[in-house]
Amino acid sequence: MSAAERARGAVAGWPAVSLAVFTAALGGNEFTPLLVMYRTASQMSAVVVDALLFLYVLGIVPALLVGGPLSDRLGRRALMLPSPVIAAAGSILLALGEHSVPLLAAGRVLSGVALGLAMAVGGTWIKELSDRAGDPPSAGARRAALSLTAGFGGGAGLAAVLAQWAPLPGQLSYLVNVALAVASLGLILRTPETRPRASDGRLRDAMRIPSAMKPRFWLLVAPVAPWVFGACAMAYAVIPAMMTEHTPGTAIAFAGLCCVAGLTAGFFIQTLGKRIDRPGSVRTLLVALGLVAVGMALAIVVVLHPSIALAVVTAIVLGCGYGMALISCLMEVQRLAGPDDLAGLTAVFYTLTYLGFASPAVMAWVVERFPSISYPEMFGAGIAMTALGAAVVSLANRTRAAGPQTVEPAEQTVDLERV
């Protein structure tokens, strides 16, 4: 391939895929700051709204577990092309379903499928297109990470601003996402393929993930993984809900602020995580659990002594916990995975992270079902769970019960393309 062809592939290729990844992340997180609107204007219960927040995990998980391995066999474009189409369909259903739980539920699931494909396939495609253009090895990872993070934060900020101050609060942000999806689809149709379709081997063999059976994954990564999006969900779903009465007239904007603040903090703290990480050490995993515990302790104070400023600080600390948990687990996953199942093990990890996304729905259900149990008590239980997780991680690493790392650290570089 000539230098001109490589340049053309990078300029016309990876930005197109980045837009598709950004669009999927945008569509996945626009719903979050609108939780307050659905609770008030649409008069849905907290349990129903928080369950809708979690529902898109039902789309993300299968897309993650199937999309990555299949793209290794069928090519990146074949698995990535459906993402903007599904994202647009999900946004249309969400726009139509402001007062309809079934439509909102269907829209959330479709948004999850689009995001799962973007995470599993889009990041890899961006990296390969960047490598093909002769860019530095880390360029693709940075571009993929920025695309997702910008989409998550941008979706929350855009939806909050439009719902708070623009017309059609339940529709406008979703329509913006539809327009972006159409644009990204047209661009990736012309994006070069980087993974030729494989013709040999059985499909079931491509779905096997040997690294997922290693004790080190389940004793070090698994105890931390659910707190990745567990911390996130508390930052931009639970905290704003608790402050609704104290933010009259601006509740939606406040929810968006908590979301953007938490995600921004999570993005920037990942740099610190990379600096303090050492192969064979679990310090970053323990720091992550500590940050989540501090965030939940602050949340207890917010419940007992409501303060807008403290609520934002709490969202920021929980966002730091999210970012540190994400980067520390990803680095451990890279050290554990073999060359043929990194995408698969990453997909398993992300599946565990999204278990934490159920925390707002679970907490709302507990409060409704058992009125004697309060949010401070549940946050206290969460702190105890982080302490237990820290004990498991520390003991497993200290006693070598988790087993050795199987891939030499020198051979690894932290790949943030799936962040």
The one-digit pLDDT tens for each residue of the chain (419 residues) are 445 444 444 445 899 999 999 999 999 989 988 888 888 777 788 888 888 888 888 999 899 888 877 887 788 899 999 999 999 999 999 999 998 999 999 999 999 999 999 988 887 788 789 888 888 765 676 677 778 878 888 888 899 899 889 999 999 999 999 999 999 999 999 999 987 777 666 666 666 777 788 888 999 999 999 999 999 989 988 999 889 889 988 888 898 899 899 989 988 888 788 788 888 889 999 999 999 999 999 999 999 999 999 999 999 999 999 989 988 888 888 788 775 676 678 788 888 998 998 898 899 899 889 999 999 999 999 999 999 999 999 999 888 666 665 544 333 333 333 33
Distance CA 328, CA 288 (A): 8
Q: Locate 139 and state its tokens.
A: 């360029």
Q: Where in the chain is the domain with CATH 1.20.1250.20?
A: 1-190, 208-404
Q: Are 303 and 375 in contact (CB under 8 A)?
A: yes
Best CA proximity match to 289, nearest among 220, 337, 235, 335: 220
User: What CATH number does the domain located at 1-190 have?
Assistant: 1.20.1250.20
- Sole residue written with tokens 């994400």: 326
- Sole residue written with tokens 């007992």: 304
Q: Are 230 and 363 in contact (CB under 8 A)?
A: no
Q: Are 79 and 88 in contact (CB under 8 A)?
A: no
Distance CA 80, CA 108 (A): 19
Distance CA 369, CA 367 (A): 6
pTM: 0.79
Distance CA 76, CA 51 (A): 32
| 208-404 CATH pick, 1.10.8.60, 2.40.30.10, 1.20.1250.20, 1.20.59.20 | 1.20.1250.20
Q: Are 258 and 239 in contact (CB under 8 A)?
A: yes
